[in-house]
Each structure stands twice: as structure tokens, then as C-alpha cells.
Structure 1
């Protein structure tokens, strides 16, 4: 099994750097173009399953990439719940909390690192029983946590990963050691993609 993780296309808040968890914001026109371009690179890959976050930005990316007819909603793919920090930028949050880091501290009235770790571990457990290629349409910081937990690292290590809008990452297994989970591709942008099944 390989997981093809797609971060949704550009939104106004991804442009401004605002934390976007529960807010159901649409893609920009550029974000829609990004999704279509990404889809052209993915269409030759046979996917056994296509799963998407319930948020419209992820679902629309999935649709424009050409996979709406296969897609199923997976609630555990939704973005980190930022609680009181929803819609805020990290730089503004750090005016009051200079050392704040979502991967270390979580968000007041939102998810803690332990809670998102448990959610992502539950998602990995569900995915681990599947066979074949699985496409996941989701969000930036959720993807960083997924990558960290996939390789057995704690949530705080997610801060060392970066995911651009409409990027593709592949989580898989080491060929010589099939029980070893690896990050086979990370944060590949649609303009430079060259992937094969």
C-alpha cells in the first residue's frame, strides 16, 4: 500500500497564513487551477480508494483532480481544530505567546497534540488494512502530523515538515524492509511532479 497525500489547493487563508481548521473556505481560482493540474499527474495511477476530508477545499480539490466519483468522506482527514486560534496567523498568536508552537502546545478550545496524535493514529490503523494505492485529499498541518506518525515520530516532529498548496506526498514502505514505513516523496508541487504508479 502507498498513500498519496494531497494538500488542497490555494485558499485566501492559505495565502494570508491564517489557521484554517473548521472554517469551510473555498479554493481561489488559482487553487482550482492547481487542483486541475495536479489531477493530470495523478490520473494514470490506479487508486484502490480515494478518501477526502469533509471540508469543501479538500473535496473540491479532489473533484477538480478528477476523483469525485471514487471519493468517500473520511472525518479523520479534517484539519487540526485550532479552537480559539481559528482564523489567526501564527505571528499574531506569538505576540501574546512568544514560544507558541501548534505541534507542541495545541490550541485553546481546540485539539491538543495528544488528541490529534490519537486521531491520526486511528486513521493510520484504518488505512493499514487496505491494499493498493490510496489517495488522501486533506490539509497542511494534518499532513505533517500524518507524516510524523507514519514513521513513528511524535507529533512535535511534524513542525519539521512543510506542505505547499496542491502538493503531493507519498507515504509507503521500504522495498527491502516492507515493515519499515517511509516517506517516499514529500511536498512535490504540481509544476514539478513526475510520479508513476
Structure 2
């Protein structure tokens, strides 16, 4: 059986994504800029064949999937939901660091939200399931979750996501070199119209 590639697609820009506010479970729509980012993914994705297309249930990911041309194939996958930031939802890292100077989502807890261990468990369960599939798989989701998923893919755990910057409206490809899981492409912008 050939190894699958996982295509990670971060949703387009939202108001909170642009302002740096932690957007976990708040169900924000895409901005017009985010819709444009999503549409720019369509030509690239039309050249690929996907055995499955999975999307976070949140509207920013679902809308990105639809505008990128893969909406009819999409299955909702709750494990692709963004990190639950608890009481840090809707605030910026700078605001959190007023009280906790060295805070990052990868190194400190989110009171009332998910721990990094819980996020890692979700990512590892999903990877394990997808490794048993044939064909490439498109995953439409969120910045921190996709970074954690890539960290787990590479054997670095969810904390490895701290090393991977991921912009809105970009795509990444996780794959293999022989039997080794690898990063084939990261934070790649879609082609301009």
C-alpha cells in the first residue's frame, strides 16, 4: 500500500486571526480577504486527487473548503477543531504575557481549556486512523491544531508545532521519504490569481 500524503489547509483570514486574538471555538466567519485566500487554493487542489476531504466543523474551515472547491467531498471531523483556549479565548498573547511573561500555548496551560496533552492525543488518534487509508487526504483546519498535527507527524509531539509558523490561507504537505515521515512542503501560499 502506498503511503498517503496529508494536505493541511489552514482556513482563510478572520478578524481575530489578523488581530492576533486566540480563536479556538468561537465560530467566526472569513473576512473577504480570507475568502480570496481560500479561492486561490482551488486551482492547486483541482490538480490533486483526494481519497478523503476532512474539515473542522467550524465555519471558517468549512467555508475555506467550499471556496477551495472541495466542499462536495467534505466530511466533518471534530478532531480538527482548533485548540480550546478556555479563558484565553479572544485575547492576545501580549495580553496574557502581562501576567505570565513567557507564556505560549505550547508551554503553558490554558485555564478552563485543553492541555497540550489533550491536543496531542487528538492529533495522534487522527494520524493513526489516516495512516490506514489509501490515497491522499485533505484536512481543512486551524493554525495551532495543524501545527500540533505536523509536530506529531514528525515525532516531535504537539510541542513540536511551536517550531512551525503557519499563515492563513496556506497549504502544507506531510508525506514520506521511504518509511520516514517527513515534511514535504510547509506554509506555502496559493498561487495568485
Give me the TM-score of the superposition, normalised by structure 2.
0.96
Q: Report the alpha carbon displacement of residue 2 of structure 1 after superposing the two structures with TM.
A: 0.3
For 2:93, the equivalent position in structure 1 comes to: 90
State how far apart, in whole Å, the 1-side matches of 2:28 and 2:19 are.
Answer: 13
Question: How many residues are matched?
Answer: 190
State how far apart, in whole Å, the 2-side matches of 1:3 and 1:98 are.
Answer: 35
For 2:130, the equivalent position in structure 1 comes to: 127
After superposition, the CA RMSD in angstroms is 1.2
Given the alignment, which residue of 32, 36, 40 partners 1:33? 36
- Structure 2: gaps of 5 or more residues: none
SS at match of 1:95: coil
SS at match of 2:34: helix
The yes-or-no answer on 1:171 pairing with 2:137 is: no
State how far apart, in whole Å, the 1-side matches of 2:157 and 2:31 are.
Answer: 33
Counterparts of residues 112-123 of structure 1 (less than 5 Å): 112-123=115-126
Q: Report the alpha carbon displacement of residue 106 of structure 1 after superposing the two structures with TM.
A: 3.0
- Kindly provide the CA deviation profile for residues 129-160 of structure 1, in whole angstroms up to 9, marking residues without a partner as x: 11111000000000110111001112222111
Counterparts of residues 133-148 of structure 1 (less than 5 Å): 133-148=136-151
State how far apart, in whole Å, the 1-side matches of 2:109 and 2:120 are.
Answer: 11
- Structure 1: gaps of 5 or more residues: 193-197
Given the alignment, which residue of 21, 24, 35 partners 1:21? 24
The yes-or-no answer on 1:150 pairing with 2:153 is: yes
Q: Report the alpha carbon displacement of residue 101 of structure 1 after superposing the two structures with TM.
A: 1.2
State how far apart, in whole Å, the 2-side matches of 1:149 and 1:108 are.
Answer: 23
The yes-or-no answer on 1:72 pairing with 2:45 is: no
For 1:187, the equivalent position in structure 2 comes to: 187
SS at match of 1:104: coil
State how far apart, in whole Å, the 1-side matches of 2:19 and 2:147 are.
Answer: 19
State how far apart, in whole Å, the 1-side matches of 2:66 and 2:158 are.
Answer: 30
Given the alignment, which residue of 12, 22, 29 partners 1:9? 12
Give me the TM-score of the superposition, normalised by structure 1.
0.94
For 1:195, the equivalent position in structure 2 comes to: none
